Copies of this chain bind each other. A is one copy, B any other.
Amino acid sequence: MNNTQQFIQENKQRFLDELIELLKIPSISADTAYTQDVNNAAELIAKYLVEAGADNVEICETEGFPVVYGDKIIDPSKPTVLVYGHYDVQPADPLELWESGPFEPVIKKTEIHPDGAIFARGSADDKGQMFMHVKAFEALNKTNELPCNVKFMIEGEEEIGSPSLVNFVKNNKEKLKNDIILISDTSMISNDQPSISVGLRGLSYVEVEVKGADRDMHSGVYGGAVPNPLNVLAGMIAKLIDEEGKITIPGFYDNVIELSNEERNEMAKIPFSEEDYKKSIGISDVQGEKGYSTIERTSIRPTLDVNGMWGGYIGKGAKTVIPSQAFAKISMRLVPGQKHEDITEKFMNYFPTLAPSSVVVKVTPHHGGKPYILPTDDKGYQAAKKALAQTFEKEALPERAGGSIPIVALFEEELGTKSVLMGFGLNSDVIHSPNEHYGLFNFFKGIETIPYFFKYYTEG
């Protein structure tokens, strides 16, 4: 792998420049105003794959945004690694909180990133991490050190729940045939403590509407006698979580796979300072489900959060109105054992029962995702562990990630293979938030590490 590593060292600046071009594209899949930009991002990925030396590069149409495919089959008898990533990004709002334009990448030094970090929406989630694989592949390829077959599947709908990828995978099982799937779309503990995500939370995302009168009403003329959808919705949301921090949906915890004390003790070994954690996000206190630590609350326990809520007069000044409708977007993170279809159904059955007879409640499911677990004795996990030990000179720790990559569970179902989540981001990258950034150290370390994964997986 020496030539590969040398190639990487000699091309760092170009790799970075190419990433910056990709980050300039506002490929926001959630907002139809950016449809052209999302497609442009797909075009650029395809171009980069071709330049990296991939064969059969193709922009595969789907019901939604396209999947970019490319591969390099050096020897059918060798194992095949399928690299998955996504080129779409989260919406950038609230824009006013960005210190620089979300799609005008700038490199700035930070306390955690003395070598500098690249600030832009998608820098860490997932353009920056996905692009590491393209460049690692290029380095292996150009130096003829590629030890196995490689396939790329880069999608453009991950941030909206990968609605089209399901059918794409079902309809292209032969094309996507692989021995292991490699993904960098998660974070590690810190820059001197690598970790591998062995679990992902699932997701159930719904939108709710509470309707009162058939029009907005004057709060003086009608106040006191007619249902106020905002007061009602607030009350309903308040009832979803009890004083103990437990979610009140009947049967919500039924299938949750509890961790053994041994497993929980293992988790407790992960270096973590609650003070630093609170300081890093500017809160005076943590909160959550009683009986669990902060790390457990954000990884092995299911949660419920209101992601957005609106209704009535939200402009300047005061308007004395009782709104006709109130809305909220509510999502639940699920853990192994829970099925998102089941949880969504339980929510849809339960939520309307929290309303008084004076209003009409509507619940619309958005999208869901299955939880996932990777056993630490898996060949892919072992290869990632060796690769990280090689470049970080430190033993990687297994970690449960709080986020969701719904598609991972689907891959296992449809393609029959496991996914290795070797993420190089940090929680402090503030993905999904203003000023998202990705450390240059992490970007290059990822490019250096990935070739070793190919090596050890092929050897192992």
Contacts and interface: CB of A to CB of B under 8 A. Distances in A.
Contact of A319 (B91, B313, B356): B91
Dominant SS at the A interface? loop
Interface stretch (A53-61, A66-74, A220-228): A220-228
Contact of A31 (B315, B329, B430): B315
User: How many chain copies?
Assistant: 2
Interface residues of A, number: 102
A216 interface: yes
A432 interface: yes
Contacts of A316: 30-32
Given A315-B91, A321-B432, A225 B306 contact: no
A320 B427 contact: no
A230 to B, nearest CB: 4
A283 B324 CA distance: 10
A223 B311 contact: no
Given A228-B305, A228-B306, A306-B234, A432 B318 contact: no
Interface in A376-406: 401-404
A322 B311 CA distance: 18
A362 interface: no
A366 interface: yes
A358 interface: yes
A207 B241 CA distance: 25
A301 B216 CA distance: 21
A429 B416 CA distance: 64
A318 B306 contact: no
Interface stretch (A8-16, A78-86, A287-295): A287-295
A308 B317 contact: no
Contact of A220 (B203, B213, B285): B203
Contacts of A250: none
Interface string A300-334: 01111111111111111111111100111101010
A357 B315 contact: no
A358 B225 contact: no
Contact of A313 (B97, B223, B308, B317): B308
A328 B231 CA distance: 11
A152 interface: no
A430 B404 CA distance: 47
B93 A281 contact: no
A80 to B, nearest CB: 29
Contacts of A367: 318
Contact of A307 (B225, B235, B320, B327): B320
A215 B97 contact: yes
Contact of A30 (B226, B314, B319, B427): B319
A161 interface: yes
A91 B323 CA distance: 13
A333 B223 contact: yes
B312 A356 contact: no
A409 to B, nearest CB: 15
A238 interface: yes
B320 A223 contact: no
Among all A-B residue pairs, the 8 with the closest Cβ atoms: A214-B282, A220-B403, A308-B312, A30-B317, A224-B297, A238-B238, A224-B303, A230-B306
Interface of A: 29-32, 90-91, 93-94, 97, 159-161, 187, 201, 203, 205, 207, 212-228, 230-231, 233-235, 237-239, 241, 281-289, 294, 297-298, 301-323, 326-329, 331, 333, 356-360, 366-367, 401-404, 427, 430-435
17 contacts: A97-B215, A160-B317, A214-B283, A215-B434, A219-B303, A219-B333, A221-B401, A222-B298, A223-B305, A223-B333, A224-B333, A225-B287, A225-B297, A230-B305, A284-B360, A309-B311, A320-B331
